[in-house]
Amino acid sequence: MQYLHGTENLYLPSDSAVTLGKFDGVHRGHQKLIRKVEELSRERGLISAAFTFDHIPLRLLPPSGQRFLSTNEERRYAFEQLGLAYEVEFPFTEELMNMSAEEFISEILVRRLKAKAVVVGSDYHFGRGRAGDARMLLEAGKDAGFEAFVIEKERWNGQEISSTLVRSMLMDARMEEVSELLGHPYPVMGVVALGNQLGRKMDMPTLNLYPQARKLLPPNGVYASRTRLGGRVYDGVTDIGVRPTVGQKESQVRVETNLFGYDREGEDYGSPIEVLLYSFLRPEQKFESLGELQDQMHADAKEAAKYLQAHRAL
């Protein structure tokens, strides 16, 4: 997949089928749009693309502590796995924020993206003041040279799948439901970071990653997980939190994972890692001693292994 970012010389090389949106989490509703884009690109000989935004700079909007289901890197990886040829990631500049819906169509869709097929959800809005919508695209395309396709929302248990619904489930640690909405377990990507080697002393060595500040995490606690590292997938157990038992609480939440069968201790610092969270086992808690913590860590590992053995299909 080709990745285009910025505002200068940001043009697709040929006619495209493109979908538009924030794509936070790249959930099953988003995947439905991308499948339609792929179908149209094959049928009409177009390149397939997604147009999305870099995260909104705080200088343009008041700080809100907003966090996202997917980092830009995670979103990019998801697009690539879904087969898109191009991701166009446009910075959310003041110019873009003040662009009218008509200007967005002529400048972005027609001139820059060379769109011949445009795929959006039924609730899509664009342009200054969210003045543009799916109906406007259907009408404008007739004169602008593209055909618009408006896709109805994907549904789950009678509810429309949305990033808001995924966030709600995530914040309640309902990880199985999150997996159903995303089509896969919730991912946290980063690089292997140096820890304090406490797990090694307890005969449970762990790998650490520090997620980006804008990554939305489920509640602090212990999770059954699988981890992609170095071309392999490991079952494991993951602790998300600030390690209250080992002294001073850490200011930054870490994702700390014990990988079952991992034998490369100390060899993967700085390597890309993806932790997939399958099921919530228990909340984070403070123990009276490291011995109690060690006993609980081994119990957590056994529970995670049992869960993962029974859920190989996820």
**What's residue 65's pLDDT?**
64
Cα–Cα distances (Å) from 167 to 218, 239, 312, in that order, read: 9, 20, 25
Angle at 250 between CA 236 and CA 282, to 5 degrees: 40
Check: CB of residue 87 under 8 Å from CB of residue 79. Answer: yes
Identify the H or E element spanning 305.
Answer: helix 290-310
**What's residue 197's pLDDT?**
56
- Please report, for the chain, how many H helices and E strands are present, in that order: 9, 16
| pLDDT tens-digit profile, the chain (314 residues) | 999 988 777 899 999 999 999 999 999 999 999 999 999 999 999 999 999 988 655 454 555 567 899 999 999 999 999 999 999 998 888 888 899 999 999 999 999 999 999 999 999 999 999 999 999 999 999 999 999 999 999 999 999 999 999 999 999 999 999 999 999 999 999 999 986 655 555 567 899 999 998 899 999 999 999 999 999 999 999 999 987 655 555 668 999 999 999 988 778 999 999 999 999 999 998 877 778 888 889 999 999 999 999 987 65
Q: What region does 232 belong to: left with phi over 0, alpha with psi -120 to 50, or beta?
A: beta
Q: What is the largest CA-CA distance in the chain?
A: 72
- Which has the closest alpha carbon to 72: 170, 214, 207, 235? 214
Q: What are phi and psi of 234, to 5 degrees?
A: -115, 135
**What's residue 177's pLDDT?**
98
The tokens describing 236, both together, are 């494991």
**What's residue 248's pLDDT?**
52
**What's residue 131's pLDDT?**
95
**What's residue 244's pLDDT?**
64
* pTM (2 d.p.): 0.91
Q: What is the DSSP letter of 152?
A: P
**What's residue 242's pLDDT?**
84
Place of tokens 């059954």: 224
Q: Residue 141 and residue 146: Cα distance in Å, rounded?
A: 5
